Amino acid sequence: MSASYSVLWTEVAERDLREIITFIAGDKVPNALHVLENIRDKASALYAFPDRSRVVPELHSNGIFIYRELIISPWRLLYRITESNVYITAVLDSRRNVEEILLQRLIQS
């Protein structure tokens, strides 16, 4: 039997998701609700086998191996795994430069 993890959202990831849903809702509310449900469902499924997803390539090439990503096209859900938790750390538009976004976040914090 495999270990079960708790899936927890960071404030930053919650804000990312809110911004995505608010943007989509400006066009069509039903679409926004569908996207929200899809992202939440896929994130929740990380409770089992969270290491099945790949390490974030942009971070991997810089020697950072603790962050993984789940692709929910066109978004990338970034997360890290601890002993008993999966922390969702960001939800990013895959059409944008992830390295630039993460660097900007580091500078701002």
Q: How far apart are CA 52 and CA 68, in angstroms?
A: 9
User: The CATH number of the domain where 65 resides is what?
Assistant: 3.30.2310.20
Burial 59-77 (b: 16+ CB within 10 A, else e): beeeeeeebbbbebeebbb
- Cβ-based neighbour number of residue 17 at 10 Å: 21
Structural domain count, the chain: 1
45-90 residue pLDDT tens: 999 999 999 999 988 988 989 999 999 999 999 999 999 999 999 9
1 domain residue, yes or no: no
Q: Give the predicted TM-score (pTM) of the model.
A: 0.90
Structural domain includes residue 49: yes
Q: Which helix (H) or strand (E) holds 13?
A: helix 11-25
